Structure 1
Amino acid sequence: MSHDERLRRPAGLRSLHLGETKVTYIPDGAVQLVPRRWLPGTTDKVWAAHPEYLDTTGHLVGSIGGLLVERDGRALLIDAGFGPQSLPAEPGNPHGAIQGGALLDNLAAAGRRPEEIEAVAITHLHLDHLGWAWHPAPGTGRPVFTGAAYLVAEAEWSQRHLTEAHGTSKEMLSALEPQVRTFAAGEEIFPGVRALPTPGHTAGHTAYVISSGGRRLIAFGDALHSPIQVAHPEWSAVSDHDAEQSAGFRRDLVAELARPDTLGYGVHFADVVFGQAAVHPDGEGRGHFWRPVSA
């Protein structure tokens, strides 16, 4: 499978080992993004020069899912997908069709039951990261992750009303609330996992830094939506709460992802969710590009 082909399809189950910690991407579904509308700083010329990022319908392909973090028999899930639902494409939207529903089956394929997840760490309170956390288990009316705390940055939860403009309803937030536990910037939320504030996409958007065996992986949520932004951190998404702030954090993030001991996890990065920011080999001043890794 070529790199270009992977950019045009959603990700499947993929795992990496960092010392004693195993991380596994758990697919839930996918979303189609309209390139010029989702990244309004781009032009038709940009996409004509980079057709490798676009599927046969002319969309960016965004994976949707969660990251399973396992260590010493314990299990954490970062983000909870879109849930057992789908939305059709609507004219004028910056995104096309969105579909979820596969997370529980893929979690089982990875060897875990929902009740074994001790916490769900949420990067931010948008629909495609909350799905299985607020949505009842099909046919039961009960939460899927019955024994889990929902870990949300205090800065995100205290400003949760701002996410209602992006479709997160009061009903969804109320369903989450009994299990929510807030945390402070920099707090260790699980062995080897620390919160890294990255506001901009939302007011309290948070990345998670997973460290083990002398390596680290930054699960950066929606600080970046597409690998093309690694080369152009100035391109903010139309859904960013503060475009200037998010661009500043992206520049810092790309620099961190270029460190030799550091990997990144981009939940929406098509089928290249794990990778590093590498320097272009064919000349100075060209910035970085996303180099996928598989081990």
Structure 2
Amino acid sequence: MPMSTSATQATDPAATPSWTVGDLTVHRIDEVRLPPETGPWLLPGATPDVIDQHDWLRPDFADPAGVLRLASQSFALSVGGLRVLVDTGIGNGKTRANPAWHDLRTDYLRRLTAAGFAPDRVDLVILTHLHADHVGWNTQAREGAWVPTFPHARYAVSRIEREFWAGYTMDEPRRQMFRDSVHPIEDAGLLDLVDVPSQGADIAPGLRLVPTPGHTPGHLAVEVSSRGATALITGDCLHHPVQLAHPALGSCVDIDPGQAQATRRSLLSTLADRETLLLGTHFPPPTAGRVIADGDAYRLAPVPADTSAPAHGAP
């Protein structure tokens, strides 16, 4: 993975960005801003010429030279009496082939705690899929071993996802990721494999897992709903808002590019011109927005986060 610039640490942990969805609050837990090399590697079709076609991508989602801005973050919310975390980022101190992910030292856990989600109080961790930048904080190093970061939580992943990787011929970097971030959760008996039918699966009041295959076979998006309002956390079915304008643009690490494209098109068609808030797991600030039909494709109408209210978890 040809990236050489260190990821940039995110800023003030006390100012937790959040969005209101009905009676619920979804918090963005920042880990790192990803280096400029990430965009050309991850979405090679998103060239500066493509970016130049869409003024709305600047300045938030692309820099003046037409290079994509990307981030690594999680989302946390309290719903149905549960403190829930969606994806766990890259993690600290992990051996990774990607230099931008290798041996990080971020204050992610301090941010998470400041938002009201101290690790020992998290009840449920939802993993959209089993890639290194979505499972890293599953574990942390303690006394020479990788142990669960959230010891009282259940970790949920699609059964299809886990079974796919169980039969996949992995290279050493991926085996390392499973050794330090997946196997310790399984060994502790904390990983739940969830059967998610095509219509989705409700796992708590207001919390629904939505199958969005292609990037990986068992990839999930997470739908949050309350009092008629809805938000959708993307995981990697969408990496960047440029894919709204060009749904055919795929990631270099999509397992099934054709299925990933079909999933994006179907999802965007469903969301277009509705009030559903789209929250991108790798979207840089402002991170969230509404999907608006734009010719034969779409654009994102940003919805800035609220940083004025104090961060808090469930009572």
TM-score w.r.t. structure 1 length? 0.83
| Per-residue deviation, 1:205 | 0.6
**1:145 is matched with which residue?**
150
Deviations 1:147-168 (A, max 9, x none): 0111000110111244945943
Partners of 2:125 and 2:146 in 1: CA distance: 19
CA RMSD of aligned residues (A): 2.9
Q: Tell me how many residue pairs correspond in the alignment.
A: 279
Q: Which amino acid aligns with 2:70?
A: G
Q: Which amino acid aligns with 2:270?
A: E
Q: Counterparts of 1:1-295 in structure 2 under 5 Å?
A: 13-32=16-35, 33-47=37-51, 49=53, 52=59, 53-55=61-63, 59-71=67-79, 73-85=81-93, 97-98=100-101, 99=104, 101-136=106-141, 142-161=147-166, 162=168, 164-165=170-171, 167-169=173-175, 170-172=178-180, 173-177=182-186, 178-185=189-196, 186-280=200-294, 285-294=295-304
Secondary structure, aligned partner of 1:97: coil
| Per-residue deviation, 1:253 | 1.4
Alignment check: 8 A CA contact 1:10 1:61 kept: no
| Per-residue deviation, 1:212 | 0.8
| Per-residue deviation, 1:86 | 7.0
Q: Which amino acid aligns with 2:76?
A: L
Alignment check: 8 A CA contact 2:139 2:148 kept: yes
Partners of 2:41 and 2:228 in 1: CA distance: 40
Alignment check: 8 A CA contact 1:133 1:176 kept: yes
Alignment check: 8 A CA contact 1:81 1:131 kept: yes
Alignment check: 8 A CA contact 2:139 2:146 kept: no
Secondary structure, aligned partner of 1:61: coil
Alignment check: 8 A CA contact 2:82 2:124 kept: no
Deviations 1:201-220 (A, max 9, x none): 11111111111110111111
Provide structure 1 residue ranges, at least 5 long, that are not aligned to the other structure. Answer: 1-7
| Structure 1 range deviating more: 214-223 or 253-262 | 253-262
Partners of 2:143 and 2:111 in 1: CA distance: 16
Partners of 1:163 and 1:16 in 2: CA distance: 40
| Structure 1 range deviating more: 116-125 or 34-43 | 34-43
Partners of 1:115 and 1:253 in 2: CA distance: 35
Q: Which amino acid aligns with 1:18?
A: V
Name the CA shift for 1:63/1:244 in 2 (closer, same or farther; >3 Å). same
Alignment check: 8 A CA contact 1:125 1:163 kept: no
Provide structure 2 residue ranges, at least 5 long, that are not aligned to the other structure. Answer: 1-7, 306-315
| Structure 1 range deviating more: 148-157 or 135-144 | 135-144
Partners of 1:263 and 1:122 in 2: CA distance: 20
> Taking every aligned residue pair, what percent have the same amino acid on both sides?
31
Partners of 1:290 and 1:166 in 2: CA distance: 38
**1:3 is matched with which residue?**
none
Name the CA shift for 1:79/1:235 in 2 (closer, same or farther; >3 Å). same
Alignment check: 8 A CA contact 1:152 1:180 kept: yes
